Structure 1
Amino acid sequence: MAQSETVVRILDTAEVLFAEKGFAETSLRTITSKAKVNLAAVNYHFGSKKALIQAVFARYLDPFCEEFNAQLEVLERRPSLTLEDLLETLARTTLSIPAQKGSLSIFMRLLGLAYTQAQGHMRRYLQQHYGKAFNRFAQLLKNATPELPDAERFWRLHFMLGSVVFTLSSLDALKDIAASDYDEKIRVKDLVARFLPVVTAAMHAPVPPQPPRMAETAA
């Protein structure tokens, strides 16, 4: 369903302000003032600040998960799957969606904030609405890296995701550095082409000594 001009203006303004100032630090009055709408419009269309935050994420994640689930279904039908194919699919899908809506770097900053700020409702919301796609990806990742212990795979996955969020959220600054220091004009797809081999190698790195389990330390 097409969104009204007022809804789009509120969402556009909210996502920029949330990314710049944080969720807790951005008031609804700041958003309405910047978007040139009254507070009643936000309450009417969203009902609460929490619902507005969730709507900002849904605008990106709904189309992403629809496309990602379709791509995962294709991968699940393959008799064999490499880690490289899986990560390339994730990267391609990530780049295909936010570009239609707005800035990829803004969304990545928002995603990082959802996990670093005290936004428990966001973590619950993301798990409830998008956990299925993540769990399917995690299962395919396990199939592609059977040599990794489950706990090690968990950490490496989150190291990888953290690197993706940091790199793409600081994309403009990195482009400027590449241009001024190395005379390179970097496009996002060029960055991904460099990033994927590094991430793949990290996932395939030798397993370090594993820390003791809780039961062992308690004994």
Structure 2
Amino acid sequence: MAQSDTVTRILDTAEALFAEKGFAETSLRTITGKAKVNLAAVNYHFGSKKALIQAVFARYLDPFCEQFNAELAALEKRGSVTLEELLEVLAKTTISVPASKGSLSVFMRLLGLAYTQAQGHMRRYLQEHYGQTFTRFTNQLKLCTADLPDAERFWRIHFMLGSVVFTMSSLDALRDIAYNDYDEKTRIKDLVARLLPVVTAALKAPVPEPLVASD
């Protein structure tokens, strides 16, 4: 088997198992057994479980950031950008980048796990390798939501990400429900068309009055 085929098989297997069982619960032995490779192959190509987890993310995030940066550059050249245009570019890039052998819903599940499980190295990795792209996006978002206080914008960005990650990671189940209950066949682009106005409205919603702590 060619070396690249071995790497791809390890990554495909690790991606599926991490999404199904979680990072901590998935051992390298489980991955090697299902991928039909020996532990030495994983150590040779990746060096550690942490590096393997990071490589799984890089397969999607590297091409995503390359395309998203190009889209952001095109928007920046135009000058004034609306919130709707910015979020549409984000959505278009998200669904257009191939998610390796797995589906986009699998990757979104992994992204959610990176923040909900005790994976400090993963958050550091994401910041170090992709933080510049995220900052570029949030700077544009800040211009589109200039009336929002910085702290409020922080929360709304993460509310938006939470909505997107949950919806996309639950895509298969939600499609089944929509079909069984409403006789509706839903494509990803149809789902995005519905999701965009929701997250846009959330970012544009009035700032709530400060909560007063009770005695």
Name the TM-score class by shorter chain: over 0.9
Give the secondary-structure state (helix, strand or coil) at the position aligned to 1:186: coil
Residue pair 1:106, 1:169 contacting (<8 A) in 2 also: yes
Give the aligned residue type for 2:40.
A
Cα offset, 1:75, TM superposition:
1.1
Per the alignment, residue 97 of structure 1 pairs with 97
- In the alignment, structure 1 residue 204 sits paired with structure 2 residue 204: yes
Per the alignment, residue 123 of structure 1 pairs with 123
Per the alignment, residue 144 of structure 2 pairs with 144
Give the secondary-structure state (helix, strand or coil) at the position aligned to 2:78: coil
Identical-pair percentage: 79
Residue pair 2:64, 2:97 contacting (<8 A) in 1 also: yes
Cα offset, 1:45, TM superposition:
0.3
Residue pair 1:98, 1:107 contacting (<8 A) in 2 also: no
3-12 or 118-127, which moves further after superposition? 3-12
Per the alignment, residue 5 of structure 2 pairs with 5
Residue pair 2:178, 2:184 contacting (<8 A) in 1 also: yes
Cα offset, 1:144, TM superposition:
0.4
Aligned residues: 212
Distance 1:101 1:66 in 2: 19
Cα offset, 1:78, TM superposition:
1.7
Residue pair 1:65, 1:130 contacting (<8 A) in 2 also: yes
- In the alignment, structure 1 residue 189 sits paired with structure 2 residue 156: no
Q: Aligned runs of 1:7-26 on 2, under 5 Å? A: 7-26=7-26
Could you report, residue by residue, the CA deviation over 1:72-123 in whole angstroms, capped at 9, with x for unpaired residues?
Answer: 1111112211000000000000001134553001000000000000000000
Say what the alpha-carbon RMSD is for the aligned residues. Answer: 1.5
TM-score between both structures, scaled by the size of structure 2: 0.95
Per the alignment, residue 47 of structure 1 pairs with 47
Distance 2:53 2:150 in 1: 32
Distance 2:209 2:64 in 1: 37
Give the aligned residue type for 1:188.
I
Give the aligned residue type for 2:14.
A
Cα offset, 1:211, TM superposition:
5.3
Gaps of 5+ in 1: none
Could you report, residue by residue, the CA deviation over 1:172-203 in whole angstroms, capped at 9, with x for unpaired residues?
Answer: 00000000001100000000000001111111
Gaps of 5+ in 2: none
Per the alignment, residue 62 of structure 1 pairs with 62
Give the secondary-structure state (helix, strand or coil) at the position aligned to 1:4: helix
Give the secondary-structure state (helix, strand or coil) at the position aligned to 2:41: helix
Per the alignment, residue 112 of structure 1 pairs with 112
TM-score between both structures, scaled by the size of structure 1: 0.94
Distance 1:34 1:67 in 2: 33
